[in-house]
Structure 1
Amino acid sequence: MLTFILRRLASGIVLIAVISFLAFVLLYMAGGDIARRILGENATAETVAKKAESLGLDRPLLVQYWEWLTSALTGDLGRSFFTGELVSVSVSGRLAVTLSIVIGATLVSAILSVVLGVLAARRGGAVDGTIQFLSLIGFAIPGFLIALGLVLVFAINLGWFKATGYIPITTSVGGWLSSVTLPIVALSIGAIATVAQQVRGSVIDAMSRDYVRTLRSRGLGSTSVVYKHVLRNAGGPALAVLAVQFIGLLGGAVIIEQVFAIPGMGQLTVKSTTLGDIPVVMGLVIVFAIIVIVVNLLIDLAQASLNPKVRLS
């Protein structure tokens, strides 16, 4: 187990290095005249050149990347070209906001997906057909349309939740719930549709196995067989899909945060990419890459704990 974890962490470090280099190259190629963008169109060519020199933008690409990488290894991700704020401060201040929404959506998706997937697999017939139909609708409708519909109905018309903004949980638990409920629901619907289908298929497949018939022949009830044995074997594929959905939810949060005006990493990503703020974008790339690697590692360990027959390799 320890060898597996160390090997995955080592490969993760290599992956982060490759991703960071590719991201840096793309930003360098698409960045345009960043110094001109900072100073404005009325700045003289001489002033722009001095600004580019002070930011290090006049140096070769590989030199710039190497300097960024050596600083990043010490924990220094640099400062924003436009605000001068430390990248670590900018990102950390918004990371908790985004993760609270994404983790909340993941938990809601996991619970409802298991309930709906098992219900569809056990009942079949009209129940199964209805759940599959609703899943198809949830999968087909874009997340931003769902978000807009939720705002219109539950925030504007009914006034049950906040339409925009974010209240930290340290300020008010009730206010925090009011500000994150609709974003979590908007993010969850598509994930529930996908994971529920995977749970349904895995449960149906597991229930057709010989061990299930054996357990039933020994007098175990259907509920006990499903929740104590079938779900344990069907959980692996569902966890894999849920991990993919978690990563997808990070991307979906970019749009959802724009709709609800939430000051998370999605908002910062859009703004920084539009401006060509290379240090901030690179900081975001590194954070997203680390999250993805950690999530995949945790899913592998969870699958091994659910099914001891799974060999970590």
Structure 2
Amino acid sequence: MLKRIASAIVLIVVVSFISFALTWLTPGDPARAILGISATDAQVEAKRTALGLDQNVFAAYIGWVRGVLTGDLGTSWFTNQSVADSIATRLPVTLSITIVAILLAGVIGVGIGLLAAARRGAVDSAIQPFAVLGFAVPNFIVAILLITVFAINLRMVPATGWVDFGSDPSLWAKSIVLPVIALAIAATAAVAQQTRNAAIATMQQDYVRTLRARGLGTGSIYLKHVLRNSAPVALTVLSLQFIGLLSGAVVIEYMFALPGIGALTVGAATQQDQPVIQGAVITVVIAVVVVNLIMDLAYAWLNPKVRS
């Protein structure tokens, strides 16, 4: 775990610097964008100095890191709002749809994968086109279909908007059900396919045949042995899908008008609002690192060989 944490710190530094440098070196003048075309060159130059744009990228990055280490993510260049406050209000929205989506994908995907491995035949054959469609169809196409059918035609749930869980749990659930489904379909397909393959490989092992020969029931074999030995594969897929869901949430949040961190990042990128972009990037990277560490702990719990 100490090695994982050390590598995670290096990853955070590398990714944050690359994103900082890319944004810093992007053509355009944020100072001119802030002041408008009517500002004089002297006013623009003074603004550039105030924002630190007259520094080289390394000096600017080191200054940003010093602020982060003291808990200061900076202030938006365009709204003058604290970046930490902006992220704190928007992060729960993104985490709500991504965490619920990944839990849904895990439960349904593992269930479908085990069922396909156990039954084979028609059930197994149906998994293949489902997996292909899940991989091939973009989540924004799925979102459009869901909005058209369930929000516009059937009027079962709202098409856009967000309701905080603390305000009304039922309305909160209605506000995220379509975004969650749009995100979860591809992840569910991936988990189901990989779980199915891992379960079939596990069932062909000698110890499984021995358990059957000793008279253990099929349900006991699947739940206590096949599922446990197939779980690391499912966890690997889930960890990768979580990263993909964070990326996919950017588009989904825009389509469903959700005030999440993805929408905040896209808006900041169009304005070259460096502090907001960096705050969002470091938040997402830390979230990914934490998820990977949790997965490592889960591996060690499921497979004692990992501990040694």
Asked if TM exceeds 0.5, the reply is yes
Q: Give me the whole-angstrom Cα distance separating, in 2, the residues matched to 1:310 and 1:58.
A: 50
Quick check: 284-293 or 23-32, which moved more? 23-32
Structure 1 residue 6: deviation in Å? 2.3
Q: Which of these residues, 133, 153, 159, is aligned with residue 149 of structure 2?
A: 153
Partner SS for 2:93: helix
- Matching of residues 199-278 of structure 1 within 5 Å: 199-278=195-274
Q: Which whole-Å deviations, capped at 9, do the CAs of 1:200-223 have from their partners, x for residues lacking one?
A: 000000000011111111111111
Q: Is the contact between residue 127 and residue 193 of structure 2 (CA under 8 Å) also seen in structure 1?
A: no
Do residues 18 (structure 1) and 14 (structure 2) align? yes
Structure 1 residue 42: deviation in Å? 2.1
Structure 1 residue 60: deviation in Å? 2.2
- Matching of residues 46-125 of structure 1 within 5 Å: 46-125=42-121
Q: Give me the whole-angstrom Cα distance separating, in 2, the residues matched to 1:126 and 1:11.
A: 45
Q: Give me the whole-angstrom Cα distance separating, in 2, the residues matched to 1:245 and 1:230.
A: 22
Aligned to 1:141: 137
Q: Give me the whole-angstrom Cα distance separating, in 1, the residues matched to 2:125 and 2:213.
A: 29
Q: Which of these residues, 26, 39, 43, is aligned with residue 30 of structure 1?
A: 26
Q: Is the contact between residue 31 and residue 276 of structure 1 (CA under 8 Å) also seen in structure 2?
A: no
* Structure 2 unmatched runs, 5+: none
* Structure 1 unmatched runs, 5+: none
Partner SS for 1:310: helix
Structure 1 runs of 4+ aligned residues shifted over 4 Å read none
Q: Which whole-Å deviations, capped at 9, do the CAs of 1:177-236 have from their partners, x for residues lacking one?
A: 010000000000000111110000000000000111111111111111011111100111
Partner SS for 2:307: coil
Q: Which whole-Å deviations, capped at 9, do the CAs of 1:263-302 have from their partners, x for residues lacking one?
A: 0011001101111000010111111111111111111110
Partner SS for 1:26: helix
Do residues 42 (structure 1) and 38 (structure 2) align? yes
Q: TM-score, normalised by structure 1?
A: 0.96
Structure 1 residue 61: deviation in Å? 2.0
Q: Give me the whole-angstrom Cα distance separating, in 1, the residues matched to 2:240 and 2:132.
A: 18
Q: Is the contact between residue 116 and residue 196 of structure 2 (CA under 8 Å) also seen in structure 1?
A: yes
Q: TM-score, normalised by structure 2?
A: 0.98
Q: Is the contact between residue 250 and residue 263 of structure 2 (CA under 8 Å) also seen in structure 1?
A: yes
Structure 1 residue 62: deviation in Å? 1.8
Partner SS for 2:92: helix
Structure 1 residue 47: deviation in Å? 1.4
Structure 1 residue 31: deviation in Å? 4.9
Q: Give me the whole-angstrom Cα distance separating, in 1, the residues matched to 2:240 and 2:303.
A: 20
* Letter in structure 2 aligned against 1:127: V
Aligned to 1:307: 303
Q: Is the contact between residue 81 and residue 279 of structure 1 (CA under 8 Å) also seen in structure 2?
A: yes
* Letter in structure 2 aligned against 1:190: A
State the identity %: 52
Give the superposed CA RMSD.
1.0
